Chain A
Amino acid sequence: MQNWQKGALIAVASAAVTLAVSQVLRDQTAGQAPGNAVVRTADGRPDLNGIWQAVGTAHWNLQDHQARGGPVLELGATFAIPAGLGVVEGNEIPYQPWAAARQKENYDNWLARDPEVKCYLPGLPRATYMPYPFQILQTGTSDILMAYEYASASRVITMGEAEPPPVDSWMGQSVGRWEGDTLVVDVTGFNDQTWFDRAGNFHSEALHLVERFTPVHADLLDYRVTIEDPKVFTRPWTIQVPLYRRRDAVVQLLEFKCVEFVEELMYGHLRKKTGDEAPFGAARLRWP
């Protein structure tokens, strides 16, 4: 596709999303109690400060998926996989043919290939809708911190201009701006190591995200991401995942430093055996 065509397509797509969001906002705010209106900072921006979390099953699979047993027989129902409706607009991820085959292969080899199994940095947008809270710290001046409980991942969103990313990275480089009440974050500079979910949906290092965080009311963010990667997809596509404010009486980000949970898995075969180790049970593994 020519660059101008791609640009036009993205422009049209984002215009459509903007229209859709404003419609949703109108619909949702119509019945809103005034006390629940969007909270604002001293300088009039929406105040996104707080601890947020997605609630759905997007972390399992961005697309429609049925409930099914988990991969370890002995875990029974406790670690089985819940059903969920897809969060992809149109419920189709527009893979190029080779990439569709790769996604299927990833799914079949989930435990061997999913970077989450090894506690690797989650990348984006996956970090946002993993089943862990994350905290937004909006400074009064410019930068915005998003800190994720999972693996101590975080990113600082530079507001305004930024140099091109110096190197590829797991979490990419985030550059933000305000469009009305929407925080728009442009993310580039990714490597090709992260996934979108536990179903093997993936991307290349050409990944480019445009994230849009729009407050619907004090406790709800409309989160939409347009995902573009010309090496893997035939066109940009969009997901929509609502983010809810954690309203627990007491809430703080704790540690999910999962490296220590995967060391036996990754290095156990290299450990000096003393004979005193507590033995592992013979769990039965089956996937897919």
Chain B
Amino acid sequence: MRTRTRLSLALAAALVALALAAAAAQNQNGEGSAEWTPPRTPDGQPDLQGIWTSYTATPFEVPDASDNPALYSGDPDGTGRGTGPSSFLNDTIDRKLTKGRSLVVDPPNGRVPIMSWAEERRTYKLLHIQDHWENHTAWERCITRGVPGGIFPTGYGAGYQILQGPGYVAIVYEMIHEARIIPLDGRPHAGSSIRLWNGDSRGRWEGDTLVVDITNYNDKGSLATNAASQRVRAIPQSEALHVVERFTRVDENTIDYEATIEDPKVFTAPWRVAMPLHREPDYQIFEYACHEGNLAIPNTLSAGRARDKAGATRRTP
């Protein structure tokens, strides 16, 4: 009798434990659950740490009949050998990629309000990559994919490690090896004569959302460098560029990422991108030693000089 009581007590305890564990697991999954709160780092920040990727099958913009995808991917002649990295997302093996209407969520038509001079500038540069390395994007030059462009999806190498320490969040970008360190101590932006490829980031927590304000850009980069960014690829950025990013961890495996982009010299209105970052603990970030093995630039240029020599004219679309 006593043994049986003990057994049933043990059984009851086990059942309660199982129920609790199941409830906890449900909370952890938390898909769509508003109650899910992110774990905290030892210094009390919402914990975004880990390995994340930005692979997606969602197009950057809502496609339009006026689009010229061959041009945007650096393949105006339609030879299939564009300069845009792997024009679309081929690293899809075993990934259940999200597919939505467009990453651009504002304006509601899903189209970036690009001024015409900026499109003309982009088109000129993409048609003249054989003349000068400055006509390539900063990605092909192995300088940077930029901010926020470095998080925009691409076909490979889209791994990110977030680390947090007292007063800082750092994002290590796999592609072109950036270690972007974001101070959280409320210090003002750097002086206006400091111009940076990736801008000057200042972060703060608004509830559980990391909000990063970025200014002090140079005018040499471009907002997006990869073919997956379609029409926005190689659109220039001006020194007036101002970006606000928001990182919100909404469940164990997802960060909702948003970037609001305003550059009154390039866009007629601010616009906004929204996309998920997926936690991929088994994803291994490899060293992306880009410039050290960059044959794209010398090969493109020497092809241009060979073409000059042969007196060939290039077909313009």
Contacts and interface: CB of A to CB of B under 8 A. Distances in A.
Interface of A: 41-43, 49, 118-121, 135, 137-141, 143, 145, 147, 152-154, 156, 166-167, 169-171, 193, 250, 252-255, 257, 259-260, 263, 266-267, 270-272
Contact of A141 (B42, B196, B291, B298): B42
Among B172, B284, B286, max chain A CB count under 10 A is at B172
A138 B165 contact: yes
A227 to B, nearest CB: 20
Interface residues of B, number: 48
Given A143-B163, A255-B196, A135 B133 contact: no
Contacts of A153: 177
A267 B177 contact: no
Nearest to B307: A272
10 contacts: A49-B165, A49-B168, A121-B177, A139-B164, A152-B177, A156-B163, A255-B197, A259-B141, A267-B301, A272-B305
B165 A137 contact: yes
Contact of B292 (A49, A120, A255, A267): A120
A218 to B, nearest CB: 14
Interface in B81-119: none
Contacts of A255: 196-198
Given A170-B292, A259-B291, A145 B142 contact: no
A145 B196 contact: no
B43 A140 contact: yes
A252 B200 CA distance: 10
B286 A167 contact: yes
Contacts of A169: 286-287, 289
Interface of B: 41-43, 49, 130-133, 141-144, 161, 163-168, 170, 172, 176-179, 181, 183, 187, 190, 194, 196-198, 220, 284-287, 289, 291-292, 297-298, 301-302, 304-305, 308
Contact of A121 (B131, B190, B289): B289
A139 B163 CA distance: 6
Summarize A's interface: helix, strand, loop or mixed: loop
B170 A170 contact: no
A42 B41 CA distance: 12
Contacts of B194: 254
Nearest to B284: A166
Given A120-B289, A137-B165, A260-B141, 13 more contacts: A41-B166, A119-B291, A121-B289, A137-B181, A138-B165, A139-B163, A139-B165, A152-B144, A152-B176, A154-B172, A156-B172, A271-B131, A271-B133
B137 to A, nearest CB: 13
Contacts of A250: 187
